[in-house]
Each structure stands twice: as structure tokens, then as C-alpha cells.
Chains A and B, each alone.
Chain A
Amino acid sequence: MTATDATQRRKAAGTPETLLLRTTGPGGHRPDQSFWSKLVSAFAMFRNGKSIAGLAILGFFVLVAIFADVLAPYSPTKVDNSARLQPPSAAHWLGTTHIGEDVLSQVIHGTRGVIVVGFLAAVIATLIAITVGVIAGYLSGWKSEALSALTNVFLVIPGLPLIIIVASMFEEPPLVLIAAVLGITGWAWGARVLRAQTMSLRNRDFIQAARANGEPLSRIITVEMLPNLMALIAASFVGTVTAAILGLTTLSYIGVIPVTTYNWGTILNWASAQGAFGRNQWWWFLPPGLCIAAIGVALSLINFGIDEYVNPRLRSAGERARAMKKKGLDVNDAVTTVRKDTVRTDLASTDLKNPGND
């Protein structure tokens, strides 16, 4: 079965993607699996409503960041003394700052710094997390213990105070440096999760078989293990992007990062320093804050989707309860085996009858 077949069948059946992939996934016999369908199934954790909605919002911000120069109506630093602190109007959709800069243009240009730092920091953190976590989980003995101790040290050392101190060492820290610092302080949690999962994978049959076949360590890790860790890696990547974006905007707001590079935190720093919060100049401080919140929501939606893929009970629990309610049953009533079975078959049939009933 090809991937498009699977998608169409899924749409027709209206069953949750994750469940179907589970049945026809790695366990199924599909000898004619093409590279493309393998790639598609590697990203299976994103194929549910929540993740797709999150990815769409994130994609919007990425596009804004790429095309900032085209989209922004003014230069973010263009001073216009005739239009100071103006509320939103046709000329300035989101009003102007204390020296007549266009807030909308600043927000659009600010997206760039946020996206670049967020993703760069997450790439750095995830690479370290995979290297340390998977190796620590695969090896045993003192090497594993040493890597695990290193992870724990980074987990315990308080991040934000350290970043503040390190960032203040530089007069004009470039964005790449900020991203590196955020990445280096933020990899430990992902490494811990990956180590635990690798340890449980290490003793499964297919890994044992690969080892008995004499496959080299690098191949076992990259070909046999990494595909099985993709969901966790994705979750830890998304989590690090969130943390890095919050870290960057917070540091910019505090004023540790120079105000010459525009991001949403610097706009808020200016707004706060100029007393916009005290004078109800909402057009200045609401948009950047809401943008940060929107990106945060998008990222947590993606993570909700991955969570439900990793732990299907999170999804099936609510669906089953709703299906039972429709039948006039309360999910918390004492259940017997007989009733439970009838409910299960009923759920399957209602799903077939009402596609897309989430």
C-alpha cells in the first residue's frame, strides 16, 4: 500500500491517523515500501489535527520572517517626528512609537530574530541532546554514567541566571551567540528523555538481531534506533524552540541583549521604558506579546499532537467517553467486561458512520 492510499483510506474511514498508522506501521508487512513512504511515516507524529494546526501557525510566522522586507510598510527604525504615539490608523495599522516608528513594521521585522534564534538554539540543543542521550543510553558502565552525570549537572544548574551573567559579558552579543548560549543551557532535558528511551530500546529483539548480524555501531544507532526515537526528538526540539523564544524575548525585555537587533522582546523593552503600559498605549505593547503567545500556542499544539501519538490513551480516553455519553452511559460508572466490549464495537461503527467526528 502506498502512502497516498493510506491517506485516502484514512480520510474515508475517518479514523484517527495515529491509530491506523500503528496497525499498518512498522509492524506491518510492506515489502515494497518506497523511500518516500518511509519518509512520510517518519513524520507520522505530525499527522493529526492539533499538530497540523500548530504547524500552520508556525509556518505563517516563518513566512513573515522570510518576507519581512516585502511585508513591512515602513523601515522599523524610520523616525517620523510628525506622527508620535499615534493610535492605529490607515497609515499606521498598529500605531506608532514615541519617536514615530511604525509598530507593525517593527513586529514584522522582529519575527526574524525570534524565529532565527528559536530554531538555531533548538537545532544546537537537539544535536547535543541526541549525541549525549543516545550514546549514554546505548553504552553501559562508567561511560554511560559519566554522560548521565553531565546531563544531570546541566539540568540542575539554573539556566536563566547563568544566561544573564554570560550574555552581560559581551557588549554587543550577536544573535548567533545568544542562540548558542540558549542551546547549550537547554539540551539536558531532551538528553535525559532520549537516554531513557534508548535504554529501553537497547534490549529489544531487532537491535539484538542487528548486533548479532555484525552491523557497526554507527549503523545501529542511525538506521535502527533513530527512527524509533523520532517522536521524542521532535517533542524535545519543539520544547526547546518554545524555551528559546521565551528566553530570547525575556532577555531582550530585561535589556541584556542590545536593542539594536529588533525582536518582540526589544519592542516590549522600549514600550516599558517609555511608560506605554502606564499610559494605555495598548497598540504598542499588545501586538508583540500576543505574537509570542501565538507562537507559544502553535508550538504547544504540535507537542499535544506528538504526546497523543506517543501515548494514544490521551486521545482515545476523551473520544471513548464522548462516544459513551452519546449512548447515555457515564464513563465513570462501574463497568463490566461485557458492557465494555459492546461499547468498543459501537465506537468503531460510529466512527465509520460519522467521518471527521473528533
Chain B
Amino acid sequence: MTAVEPQLPTPETRPAVDAVEAGTTATQVVAGHSRIPWRFLGGRAAFYLFTLWAALTINFFLPRMMKGDAVSQYLSRNRNVSPEAAEALRALLGLDTDKSLWQQYLDYWGLLLRGDLGVSLLHGLRPVTEVISQALPWTIGLVGLATIVSFAIGTIGGAFIGWRRGSKLDAFIPITTFLSTIPYFWLGLVAIAVFSVNLRWFPIGKAYGVGMAPGWNLEFIGQVIHHGTLPLLTIVIASLGGWMLGMRNMMLTVLDEDYITVAQAKGMPNRRVLWGYAARNAVLPQIQSFALSIGFIVGGTIVMEMVFSYPGVGKLLLDATNAKDYALMQGVFLVITLSVLVANILADIAYAFLDPRTRQTEA
């Protein structure tokens, strides 16, 4: 719903920009007299630290609010564990209830700061960090690529559709919007039914074929590409609409500005007005959304990984939730939250670089 964002009036910032400078591009104005907005930076840093604390505290309380504990689930799967061993397991996982909640909270922070996320019951008591770091590359590789492809096609296409406003190209907007209102899991399942089951163009799910040993050889890489194509295409199709609509709406708003009329009246070639003036200004909110969507690469595709049984972070979280493997669940939630926070910081930095008005109003 990016399009709904109100166009904030910034009249009080306008006179600050010199009329001569305003004729140049935004970045050059900044480079002229760059002063570091400490108040702005300090405020943002405080906000991110607070959010980090809030997210980690929620993460601490989540498993403690849940019914049934991991060990009893583990025991019901492995019947030959003695009661003493079960007690030891509880102590190992920090689930012994003799300690006060406050003490548990302090212990949690101590372990966290040492980078110790505990062990995963679901994966044979291996360290959670190890389990997550194995799944992370799959998610980042596939979803990251899909996000970049979708952003590039959507933004360039949206700029072009906005430029050719009123033409037949406008039909793209309702089509891509329709595709993005379909629930993703359904799109994925139908894609599997059509392309994998009926046409047999792509394999069904998984990141590579059964019995393949991961390695940097041509056959394995070919397999990964073959298995990844369908998930990639479905993600791109499902997310294209948002990028295209956002860019097209911004283009329509920007194309009405006086500086576009001036540029055209000066006799500039249309190509230059389109990409150098209109699209360049319209792309600002897109870049901010792009930085934000980087954060959702890790956490936003749980459903994709479930539909395609892709061995990424999202599937890890689902399996951990079903098995009540709290340590793994907390670890995955932590990684997802951290990536969203980092993406937000990136978005802030990108925006402050690209749009000097942000710094002037905030500082």
C-alpha cells in the first residue's frame, strides 16, 4: 500500500536550498556543504537499540509462554531416554524451572552476547548457529536474486508505463496487481502442478536432486539452477505488481512537476527527460522500499520454502515450531529480526544520501 503514503509537504525546507543549487542534481548540493547531522544520527541509533532490545525480549518470552516443552516432545519421539537423562537435557537447554525469571533473563543475555544460541533438539543436539548458517545461504541466494530481479523489472517497467501514460501499457497495472493478490502458496502449488507434474520441465521442490553431494562442480550448480528456477519465477511474478505500481504512481506525480515541463521546453531529448529527470526523482521511494525488502528476504518466504521444500531458514522455523524446538525457534527469529533491523538502517542511510530534504527536516 505504498501508494497511499501522503505526499508530505516540505515548504519550510525549500527556501533553505539556494535557487542556483536547486538547478543542479540533489547529490551535488549536498557535497557542497556536508555537515554531519549528529542529532538525527543519535536519534536513529537510539531507536535501533531500543527496537533490538524489544525484539530480543519478545524472543525471550516466546518459548516461556508456550504450552508443552521441547524435552517432552523429544521424549515422545525417543522412548529410550531415562528420566535422569531428561533432567540433564532440561538443564542443558536452560528449561529447569528452579531459577527465577529474572535470573533466566540475565542468563539469556549472557549467552546471547557470547554468541551461544544453544543446541537444537531437532537436529541431533547440534549448535543452533551451525544449523542456521547451513540454511542461510539457500534462502539469501534464491530470495535475494528474486528480489533484485523483481525490483529491476518492476521499477524500469513502471517508469516506462508511467511515461507512456494513457496508452495500452496501462493494462499491465491491473494484471500485475491481480497476480500479486493471489496468495503466494497457491501460485506456487499451481506452478508445481502445471510445470513440474504435467509438463515435467522442472523438478518438484528441494534445492538439488536426491543423492547429490553439495560441491562447486558444474553438475551440482546446474542442478541448483534447475531446481531454483520455478521458485524464483513465482516469487518474481508475485512481487512484481507492487514495484510496478509504486514506480508508475510516483512517475505520474513527478511528470506533473514544473521542472519536467522546463526540461522539455528547453528541448531536451525525451530519453534524457525520462531517465535523467523523471525516473531519477521517482525512484527515491522505490529504493527505500527495496532496502526494506532486503530485510524480508530472510523471513518473508517461509511459505515459499514450505511449498517447494526448499532447505532455507523459513522451513527451519516451521519445523522448529512444529517440534517445539525452542532454541532453534529463538535463533531463527533472532536472525530474521536482525536482518530486518539491518535493512532498516540501510534504508535510512540510502535515503539520507539520496534525498537531502530528509536530513534537513529531521536534523
Q: Interface on A for B, CB 8 Å cutoff?
A: 149, 152-153, 156-158, 160-162, 164-166, 168-171, 189, 193, 196-197, 200, 232, 235-236, 239, 242, 246, 249-250, 253-254, 256, 265, 268, 272, 277-278, 280, 285-286, 288-289, 292-293, 296-297, 299-300, 303, 306-307, 310-311, 313-314, 317-322, 324-325, 331-336, 340
Contact = CB atoms under 8 A, between A and B. Distances in A.
A293 B62 contact: no
A336 B266 CA distance: 10
B197 interface: yes
Contact of A297 (B8, B181, B189, B333): B181
A1 B357 CA distance: 43
Given A164-B302, A280-B198, A322-B166, A156 B4 contact: no
A318 B252 CA distance: 9
Contacts of B7: 311
B344 interface: yes
10 contacts: A158-B296, A161-B333, A232-B6, A250-B184, A277-B193, A292-B181, A292-B182, A317-B255, A318-B170, A334-B265
**Chain B: interface residue count, which band?**
35 or more
Nearest to A231: B4
B197 A277 contact: yes
Nearest to B268: A334
Contacts of B274: 332
Interface stretch (B30-38, B49-57, B116-124, B282-290): B49-57
Interface of B: 1, 3-9, 47, 50-51, 54-55, 58, 62, 65-67, 163-167, 170, 177-178, 181-186, 189-190, 192-193, 197-198, 249, 252-253, 255-256, 261, 264-265, 267, 270, 273-274, 296, 299-300, 302-303, 306, 317-318, 321-322, 329, 332-333, 336-337, 340-341, 344
B235 to A, nearest CB: 15
A160 B265 contact: no
A317 B252 contact: yes
A280 B193 contact: yes
Given A313-B253, A322-B166, A153 B51 contact: yes
Nearest to A239: B1
B197 A278 contact: yes
Contacts of A313: 252-253, 256
